[in-house]
Amino acid sequence: MKFTRTKRALLAVASGVALAVSFPDYNLWPLAWFAVGMLVLASVGSPPGESPLYGFLHGVVFYPVCVPWIDTVMRQYGDLDPWTSAGILGLMAVAGGLLYSLFSWGVARASRKSVALACALAPFLWVTLEFARTHLPYIGFPWNLTGYAAARSLALLQITTLTGIYGLSFLIAAYGSLVAFAILVSTGRWLSTERRAWPTAAATTVVLLVVALGGGYLVPSATPHHTAHLVQTNFPQSEHYPSDWIQLHAGELDELERISIAAARKTPGPPELVIWPEVPAPFSLQDPAFAARATRIARESGGDFLVGVVDWKQDASQQWLASNSAVLLDPSGRRIYTYDKIHLVPFGEYVPLRRWLTFAGRLTADISDFTAGTQYRVGEVPGGKFGTFICYEAIFPGEVRRFADAGAQLLITISNDGWFGRSSAPIQHLMMVRVRAVENRRWVLRDTNNGFTAAIDPYGRIVAQLPTDIRGELDAPYDFRTDLTLYARFGDWFAWLCVIATLVLLFLALKPSIAAPEVKR
């Protein structure tokens, strides 16, 4: 099939838009299944010097449409002017475009050997680039990987116990490539390959529809035996906090204390775990007033109390360092567990390469530097062991699985999504946490400042949820599991397999063809 440059560019732009609107708040998820195929159509047969343009167009369109809330957050809480915040989102889009220009170049290069080779390469190369996007130094940002568009199907979601989210990305990319292959070969001569292409695509479509729409009825249910009390603090987000913030908000903290203690006491049987979210205000156990309140909650509730705090520690040179931490107090008020957030938000919780970013001036001046933790620590409460990951860490599948691999039988995530306002970001964040539950086959308790606070079962069902933007408490059912999924045990083996397959197929694509020797007569 011959495409003009204009048609190829339109296909690439449509591909980026289609993938972007597959995610909340648009929720047009069926389009994701065709988005990669459209980019394959744009790339196959394009000239070598032109082909990177089409992947670039895809990325440049995808990011502003899919994550426009980044601009909002920077303007509202970073105190940046509209031009600067829009420029930063634009730079992010350009970076994504450069990454996916490698996709269109690779597919175009392989198509010079054969259309079949190009379409076979596409899903492996797609996953390889998403894997790279996850692990880029400092700026790795695997938000809204393609596979999340398939996570709405409870049946398809179970694939992630084997492959992680990358298996779903591969499935979507492979289906799109198959449809693209059928379109491309159907315009050529009527060969046996062409006669099989459309029936294969049609049969694959039927199988996917049956599994996606009906397979959820075969997914088992999980029976919880415990209840945690997730307290949604609902403090307004602020860029700065005065030194007397705790005193100014004493009444609201009293209310939260009453909510926490009453919730723990109302459940029949032994008091259960009480959880507060990622620190939404200057909470620190080094502050005597807050420490006394936290101790009182633990003692009067009669159970364990997990709370997000800014934790101050001294290093070897006696310098005070701050970490974004989750701390567990036992019923006596004694600290028995601390997890320091390992994967900090770049340009939010720390500035990468701050020494060399002097030109950024205002952008870096107001960003405080947290110190990253180093251990994926596992704690213990009555009934079993748990691991805690904090906010941004939820989007990194390879890091969350480390808690399950280290012995966590329950996963708890605390977050402050107040930074996002009522944009699409909070629901996108929750969507990714659901996948973490299935990848590791663990109950996940998610406590946030203002929503979405929820309990998620090991199969990805949201079994309890608190309304957003209220101050209150959720009785969250949960249980402990000791089995390890293939993904929890071996990590990103499937993504690495895709990397290897990509290198092999690119080698075949770049390998010079050996012409048959001329026969002398």
If asked whether residues 280 and 404 sit together in one domain, one would say yes
Residue 360, pLDDT > 70, answer no
Q: What is the DSSP string of 21-52?
A: TTSTTT--GGGHHHHHHHHHHHHTT--TTTTH
Report the pLDDT value the prediction gives residue 474, as an integer from 0 to 100.
97
**281 or 390, higher pLDDT:** 390
At 450, is the secondary structure helix, strand, or coil? Answer: coil
Has residue 515 been placed in a domain?
Answer: no
pTM for the predicted model, two decimal places = 0.92
Poorest-pLDDT segment among 172-176, 184-188, 360-364, 463-467: 360-364
Same domain, 104 and 170: yes
Q: Over the stretch 155-192, which tens digit does the pLDDT of each residue have? A: 999 999 999 999 999 999 999 999 999 999 887 544 44
Position 521 in a domain: no
pLDDT digits (tens, 9 = 90+) for 105-129: 999 999 999 999 999 999 999 999 9
Edge-to-edge order in the sheet of strand 305-314: 335-340, 320-329, 305-314, 274-275, 226-232, 472-478
- Please indicate, yes or no, whether residues 320 and 423 belong to a single structural domain of this protein: yes
- For 9, counting Cβ atoms within 10 Å of its Cβ (0-12 exposed, 13-18 middle, 19+ buried), the class is middle
- pLDDT above 80: residue 240: no
Contacts of 448 (CB under 8 A, 6+ apart): 232, 277, 278, 414, 415, 416, 417, 426
Q: Are 52 and 193 in contact (CB under 8 A)?
A: no
Tokens 């909650």 correspond to: 297
Tally of domains within the chain: 2
- Provide the Cα torsion 54, 56, 62, 67; round to 10°: 180
- 231: phi then psi, degrees, rounded to nearest 5: -95, 120
Structure tokens belonging to residue 239:
């860029």
Q: How confident is the model over 502-520, as pLDDT tens digits?
A: 999 999 999 886 554 555 5
Supply the range of the domain harboring residue 166.
5-219+492-510
**pLDDT, greater one: 260 or 365:** 260
Let me know whether 206 and 247 are in one domain: no
Active-site residues, by number, are 278, 341, 391
Span 19-66, pLDDT tens digits: 999 999 999 999 999 999 999 999 999 998 999 999 999 999 999 999
Structure tokens that stand for 348 in this block: 């939010």
Element (H, E) at 405: helix 397-405
How many percent of the chain have pLDDT more than 70? 93
Report if residue 483 sits inside a domain: no
242 and 282 together in one domain: yes
| Strand 410-415, strand 335-340: pairing | unpaired
- Alpha-carbon separation of residue 97 from 13, 144, 417, 513 (angstroms): 11, 15, 27, 31
Indicate if 238 and 208 belong to the same structural domain: no
